[in-house]
Structure 1
Amino acid sequence: MTDAAPSPSPAVLARSAVPATLVGAGAAVLLVGIDELAHLLHEVWWSHLPDALGVDGDARWWAALILTLTGALVGLTLWKAPGHGGHDTATVELASPPLPLRTLPGVAVALVLGLAGGVSLGPEGPIIMVATGLTVVAYRRFLPAVPLPVVLMISTAAMLGAMLGTPVAAALVLTSVLGGNVPGQLWDRLFTPLVAAGAASVVYHLLGGASWDMGLPDYTAQWVDLLSASVIASVGAALGAAAAWTFTPAHRAFRRLRHPLLYVTVGGAVLGVLALIGGQITMFKGAEETAELLADLDSYTVGALALIVVVKLAAIVVSGASGFRGGRIFPAMFTGVALGAFAHALVPGIPLTLAVASGVLGVVFAVGRDGWLALFGGVLICGAVTVLPILCVAALPVWLVLTRAPHMLVHEEPAEASEPPAVPTR
C-alpha cells in the first residue's frame, strides 16, 4: 500500500477558501441570471405573444408550436454558434471537460432557449459547463498552480450548491464522481469545493432563488412502509431503466438526420406531440410543475397521473437524445414525484410523503445512476429527514433492479464524439 498524500496545512486550506467563496458567489449569480433570462423569454412566448395574437397561451397546440420553434432555434444555435453549443449533454457526465471561453455564450443561449421553450431538461449540465469554463479561466489567470481536477471540483460543487440550495448534495456527488481523481484525505479534498458550494447556496437564497420545499405532510415511519417504499422505488427504477434502454437508439436515430437544425427541430416537433398528449404539466424542467402537481393533486385521476409519468419519461428521452442542451436530474425528480402521487392515489393508505420520496429515489437512481444523489433528492423533495432510513432500505432492491441496466448516457465512437456535430458542409 502507498502512503496517503500529506494533508495541507490549515493556512493553505484557509487561503484556498477565499477564491472558492468567490466562485460560489459567482455561480449563484450566474444561475439567477440564467433563470431570469429564461423567465423573461418564457413570458414573451407564453404570455405576451399569445395575448398579442389573441390566442390561448395555455392551449396544447400552442405548446406544440413553441416546442417546434424552440427546436429550430436551438438547432440554429448548434449549427452557427462558436463551439456549436458545447458538449452534447447526452454524451457527458455532470462534470465534463472544460470548454474554450468563446464556446460558452452558445452553451448559455441553447440552455436559455430550452428552459423557456418547455424542453424537459434541467439546467444542470450546460450551466456547469459555463461555470467550469469561467472558473478555469480565472484560476489559470490568478492561481495557475491549482490542479485542473481541483478547479473542476470547485466549479461543479459551487453550481450544485446553488441549484439544490445546500452543499450536502455537492459533497455526496463529489465523493463518487470526482473525489478519486485527486490525491489526499477525503475531507481535505472536499474542503475547498464545499466552501464554494456553501457560498453558492447562501448567495442563491439571498438573491431570492427558488426553494425545493413542497410543503408535504409530516411523516412518521411504520413497519409496512419498508415494503411500500421498496415497491414504489423499484417500479420507478424499472421505468427509468426502460427509458435508459431507449436513449442511445433514440440518439442515433435523430443523428441520422445529420444536420443539427434538422434533428433538433424534429425533436422539438416530437416534444410538441407529447405536449398534445400530456399537457404543459409534462413540459419544462419540472421544479415549478412539481409544486403545481402537488398543490392540485386532488384534481388528477389515477389514469392521468400514470399518463404524466409515461409522457414525462418519453419527453426526457426525446429532449436529451435530439440535441437539446440540459440535464436529466430535475425532470427525473418531477417524474418520481408524479409516480409517488400515482402510488398514493392507487393505494391511499401509503403516506404521500413516503410515496413521493420513494418515487424520486427510484427514478433519479435510474436516470442519474448516483445513489447518493437519489437518496438526497428523495429527502429534499419531501423535506422530512425521518424518511431517510426507509429510503436507505428501499435503495437496496433498486440497486438490484439497476445492476445490469444501461446508463442514460450515450457512449459515442471516437469518430462520432468530436464537436461540432456532423453537418453536410464537406
Structure 2
Amino acid sequence: MPEPAGNAPDFTQHRVFWRLIGYSALLGVLGSVAGLVFLAVVGLGPRWYGEQQTGWMDGPWWWVPVAMAAGLVVGLLRRAFHSPEKAPGLIEDVEAQHVDHRPVPSVVAISAVSLIGGASLGPEVALGQVGGGAADVVSQRRGLDEDTGKALTLGGIAGAFGGMFSSPVLSVVLVLELARPGRKVFGPALYGSIVAASLSFAIYFTVAGTIFLGIYEVPSFDFADWHLAAAVPLGILAVLVVLATMAVGAATTKAVALLRLPALLTPVVGGLLFGLVGVALPLTSFTGSDQLGVALDKGSALGTGLLVAILVGKMLAFAVSTATGFIGGPIFPVLFLGGVSGILVHQVVPDIPLGLAFACLLAAVPGAIVGAPFTLVLLAALMTQVGPLETAPVLIAVGTASLTVSALKYLRARRSAATEPSVA
C-alpha cells in the first residue's frame, strides 16, 4: 500500500528542493548539448585517422606530426590559460562535490585538442567539468546553501554523463557511489541526478540515436559454479595490471621530469611519443573505446604476443598522455586495459569463456582503482549484455580487486608505522 503524501521525506517539502529539481533539469539539458557537441568534436580525430589498423607497424606515419601539432596547441593553450601543472580530476571533483567553474573553459579546450590528437585519455573529465562548473555558477548566482550546492553539483555531473554513457541509471549510480554524500545531501542529490541524467539521455538519444548497450558483443556462455571461484584469481590479475600501469606511469613521470623540457615543448614531445606508439601499435591510440571492440572481434587473429604488446603499449601511451600535459579522463583507457587483459586470459586459458574473462576484467581493472563496485558491475553488464547469473562472478572479481588493493594499502601503512621511530 503506497504511503500517503504526508509521509514523504522532509526534504521534498521545502521550496529549495523544488528549485534544485528545476536547476537539475536545466543542467540535464546543458549536459546533453555539451555531450553532443564535445563528443562530435573529439570524434574528428578518429574520422581523420581513417580505418582502424591492428597489426605491428600498421599505423599511419603521418599521424605522428598530427599528434605533435596537437601537443603544440595543448602547450599554447596551457600558456594562454595559465593552466596549473595538475589538471582537475574527475574522481576528486565528485568526491569533493564541488567544481570550480573558472578553469572549465581551459579544461574543455585542452581536452578537446588532446582527444582529437589521439591522446590515450577519455572525455569524462571535460564533460564532468562542464556539468559541475555550471552547477557552481548556478549555486553562486542563486545563493544556494552548501548542501544544496553539493547536490546540484552531483546532478550536473550526472547530467553531463547521461549522454556520454547513454544510460541515466549508470550515470546516477556512478556519481553517487563515488561521492558517497552525507544524509542531508544524498536525498536531494539522488532526485536531482535522476532528473538531470534522464533528461540528458532523452535528448542525446533523440538526436544521436546511439546507446551504450551491448557495445562489446561477447560470445554467450553457460554459467557454471566454478566461474565464481575463477573470478577470484581474475580479480587478483586485475590488481597486477593496475600495479603495472602505475609503475609505467611513475617511471614515465620521473623520466619527463628529468628531461626538464620547457612547458611549451613538453606536450609536443608527448605527442611524438604516443604518436610513435600508435604507429607501432595502432590499437593504442585515442580513448580505447572503439579500439577495444576491434580487439575483441579480432583477438584470435591478433595472437597472444601482439595482445601483450598492445596492453603494454596502451599503458605507455596513457602514461605519456598524462605526464606531458594532455587532459582527459582515465575511465576509457583503463576499461581498454581490462578488456584486453580478459581477451588474453581466454587465449592463454581457453577453458575460461571469453565472455567471463572479458566481463570480469573489464570491471575489475577499474575496480582496483575506483571504489565503485556496483557501478562497474552495472557497466560491464550493460556493455557486454551478459545475463543476471553471469554478473555474480563479475561482482566477485571487482570485490576481490578492490579488497586486495585495500589490503595492500593497509599492510603498507602498518609497515610504515612499524618502521617509524617512536617518540618518547
Contact 2:118/2:275, CA 8 A, preserved across alignment: no
2:35 — aligned with what?
A: 31
1:377: how far off?
A: 2.9
Give, in whole Å, the separation in 1 of the partners of 2:129 and 2:101. Answer: 10
After the TM superposition, which residues 396-407 of structure 1 pair with which residues of structure 2 at under 5 Å, given as runs?
Answer: 396-403=399-406
2:25 — aligned with what?
A: 21
Contact 2:242/2:365, CA 8 A, preserved across alignment: yes
Q: Secondary structure at the match of 1:368?
A: coil
Give, in whole Å, the separation in 2 of the partners of 1:134 and 1:234. Answer: 40
Kindly tell me: are residues 98 and 91 of structure 1, through their superposed partners in 2, closer, same or farther at Cα, counting changes over 3 Å?
closer
CA RMSD of aligned residues (A): 2.9
The residue type equivalent to 2:21 in the other structure is A
Identical positions, percent? 23
1:404: how far off?
A: 5.4
After the TM superposition, which residues 37-186 of structure 1 pair with which residues of structure 2 at under 5 Å, given as runs?
Answer: 37-40=41-44, 42-43=46-47, 45-46=48-49, 59-80=59-80, 82-84=81-83, 88-89=87-88, 93-95=92-94, 97-101=98-102, 103-142=103-142, 144-145=144-145, 147-180=148-181, 182-184=182-184, 186=186
4+ runs deviating over 4 angstroms: 10-15, 89-92
> Does structure 1 residue 261 correspond to structure 2 residue 264?
yes
Give, in whole Å, the separation in 2 of the partners of 1:87 and 1:126. Answer: 14
More displaced, 322-331 or 358-367? 358-367
Give, in whole Å, the separation in 1 of the partners of 2:364 and 2:408. Answer: 13
2:330 — aligned with what?
A: 328
Q: Secondary structure at the match of 1:8?
A: helix
1:11: how far off?
A: 6.6
Q: Secondary structure at the match of 1:119?
A: coil
Kindly tell me: are residues 275 and 42 of structure 1, through their superposed partners in 2, closer, same or farther at Cα, counting changes over 3 Å?
closer
Give, in whole Å, the separation in 1 of the partners of 2:262 and 2:152. Answer: 34
Number of equivalenced pairs: 387
Kindly tell me: are residues 104 and 83 of structure 1, through their superposed partners in 2, closer, same or farther at Cα, counting changes over 3 Å?
farther
Give, in whole Å, the separation in 2 of the partners of 1:125 and 1:404. Answer: 29
Q: Secondary structure at the match of 1:234?
A: helix
Kindly tell me: are residues 91 and 270 of structure 1, through their superposed partners in 2, closer, same or farther at Cα, counting changes over 3 Å?
farther
2:309 — aligned with what?
A: 307
> Does structure 1 residue 360 correspond to structure 2 residue 362?
yes
The residue type equivalent to 2:149 in the other structure is L
Give, in whole Å, the separation in 2 of the partners of 1:368 and 1:7. Answer: 32
1:207 — aligned with what?
A: 207
Kindly tell me: are residues 188 and 128 of structure 1, through their superposed partners in 2, closer, same or farther at Cα, counting changes over 3 Å?
closer
1:327: how far off?
A: 0.3
Residues 112-146 of structure 1: per-residue CA shift (max 9 Å, x gap): 11111111100111221122222322343356457
1:340: how far off?
A: 1.0
Kindly tell me: are residues 239 and 300 of structure 1, through their superposed partners in 2, closer, same or farther at Cα, counting changes over 3 Å?
same
Kindly tell me: are residues 126 and 265 of structure 1, through their superposed partners in 2, closer, same or farther at Cα, counting changes over 3 Å?
same
The residue type equivalent to 1:236 in the other structure is A
1:185: how far off?
A: 7.2
Residues 175-231 of structure 1: per-residue CA shift (max 9 Å, x gap): 343233x44274444111222122222222222164332232334321121233322
* TM-score, structure 2 normalization: 0.81
1:396: how far off?
A: 3.4
Kindly tell me: are residues 246 and 19 of structure 1, through their superposed partners in 2, closer, same or farther at Cα, counting changes over 3 Å?
same
Give, in whole Å, the separation in 2 of the partners of 1:404 and 1:128. Answer: 30
1:333: how far off?
A: 0.8
Kindly tell me: are residues 314 and 382 of structure 1, through their superposed partners in 2, closer, same or farther at Cα, counting changes over 3 Å?
same
> Does structure 1 residue 287 correspond to structure 2 residue 286?
no
2:242 — aligned with what?
A: 240
User: Paired residue for 2:348, among 327, 346, 349?
Assistant: 346
1:85: how far off?
A: 7.5
Contact 2:27/2:134, CA 8 A, preserved across alignment: no
Give, in whole Å, the separation in 1 of the partners of 2:90 and 2:195. Answer: 29
The residue type equivalent to 2:169 in the other structure is V
Q: Secondary structure at the match of 2:395?
A: helix
Give, in whole Å, the separation in 1 of the partners of 2:255 and 2:88. Answer: 16
